[in-house]
Amino acid sequence: MAEEDREEAYRIVQYLMGDDDTSREDIIDRFSQHSHHYDKVLEEANFRSPSLTALKTAELFPSDRKNIYILDVAAGTGLCADKLYSNGFLKMDALEPSHKMLDEARKKGRYGRYFTDVLGVNALNIQTDIYDVVTMSALSTVVLKKMPLNAFEELIRIVKPGKYSTTTSVCHILGGYIINSTLYNLFPDDGDVRAVTFRENMKTLEFQGKWKQVELAVYPEAIFEEKGAISVHKVLK
């Protein structure tokens, strides 16, 4: 029975992911269709992205986590928020285009505010320089590869630029991170050929001095046999 459950989870995950010809609207609708059992499906699929994203965030903020303000993008049902909460993060908002996914997240009560919006379509109704960090735990790769430059510029706008604080002889960076957990093959130039726009956007924003990639951590089997990665960008602007 366990093998049957895993095969069914694989089928659903493949359906949710779609392919490069699947529209953003269809991707959102697919997640809405499966919102009621999404957590169970991801558990069967041994989905590690929420845990690894939370651990990376905790590594970047070793202290005072209860006061770190996070926007969880593509929040879904709040899986990443659960893991962040377990690591001591208490101030979190959610951004998610699917009403039904957010309905499931509301049941858990991890977020303070819930934004039902599509990143990259309109300016977000969110104050500038308000968050210490943005987390994106497995935002649909189909959507991510097509995401326009202004979507990332909006995230940069709402994140505080990192500041340096010196205590004793140690220098710490406070805030100013955008953490993106996704499939590894989006990042290398010889990776996914349909991710060229994504890679160009990353480089353009770095060339413009708006952010800088400070880490790309690779991990095996992000979802089934697919290799994953966590990218950490430092907001500069």
Task: Answer whether residue 168 shows pLDDT above 90.
Answer: no
E strands in 106-193: 114-115, 133-137, 163-167, 170-174, 177-183
Which range is least confidently modeled, 4-8, 14-18, 145-149, 222-226?
222-226
Given this model, what pLDDT does residue 170 score? 44
What backbone torsions phi and psi does residue 137 show, to the nearest 5 degrees?
A: -105, 95
Residue 11's Cβ-side half-sphere holds a number of Cα atoms within 13 Å equal to 6
Q: Which has the closest alpha carbon to 143: 124, 118, 125?
A: 118
Q: What is the CATH number of the domain that holds 218?
A: 3.40.50.150
Given this model, what pLDDT does residue 164 score? 54
Under the banding of pLDDT at 50, 70 and 90, the label for residue 7 is: confident
On whether residue 148 sits in a domain, the answer given is yes
pLDDT tens-place string over residues 110-149: 999 999 999 988 899 999 999 999 999 989 999 999 999 9
Instruction: Give the mean model confidence (pLDDT) for residues 63-79.
Output: 97
Residue span of the structural domain in which 225 resides: 47-235
Contact 67, 97 (CB under 8 A): no
Task: Answer whether residue 165 shows pLDDT above 60.
Answer: no
Q: Which residue has 């994140």 as its token pair? A: 159
Q: Is 61 helix (H, G, I), strand (E, B) or coil?
A: coil
On whether residue 221 sits in a domain, the answer given is yes
Task: Answer whether residue 173 shows pLDDT above 70.
Answer: no
Q: Cβ of 138: how many Cβ atoms within 10 Å?
A: 25
Q: Whole-number mean pLDDT of the chain?
A: 92
The total number of structural domains that make up the chain: 1
CB neighbour class for 181 (10 Å; exposed up to 12, middle 13-18, buried from 19) = buried
Task: Answer whether residue 209 shows pLDDT above 90.
Answer: yes
**CA-to-CA distance for 153 and 205, rounded, in angstroms?**
8
Given this model, what pLDDT does residue 46 score? 85
Full-prediction pTM beyond 0.85?
A: yes
On whether residue 14 sits in a domain, the answer given is no
Which range is least confidently modeled, 29-33, 42-46, 143-147, 167-171?
167-171
On whether residue 80 sits in a domain, the answer given is yes
Contact 77, 106 (CB under 8 A): no
On whether residue 16 sits in a domain, the answer given is no
Query: In the structure encoding, which two tokens stand for residue 226, read together?
Result: 């697919």
Which range is least confidently modeled, 153-157, 158-162, 192-196, 210-214?
158-162
Given this model, what pLDDT does residue 1 score? 47
Given this model, what pLDDT does residue 221 score? 74
When computed from its CA atoms, the radius of gyration of the chain, rounded to whole angstroms, is: 17
**CA-to-CA distance for 147 and 132, rounded, in angstroms?**
22
pLDDT tens-place string over residues 12-21: 999 999 999 9
Q: Which residue has 């908002």 as its token pair? A: 93
On whether residue 22 sits in a domain, the answer given is no
Instruction: Give the mean model confidence (pLDDT) for residues 177-203.
Output: 96
pLDDT > 90 fraction of the chain, expressed in percent and rounded = 81
On whether residue 37 sits in a domain, the answer given is no
On whether residue 13 sits in a domain, the answer given is no
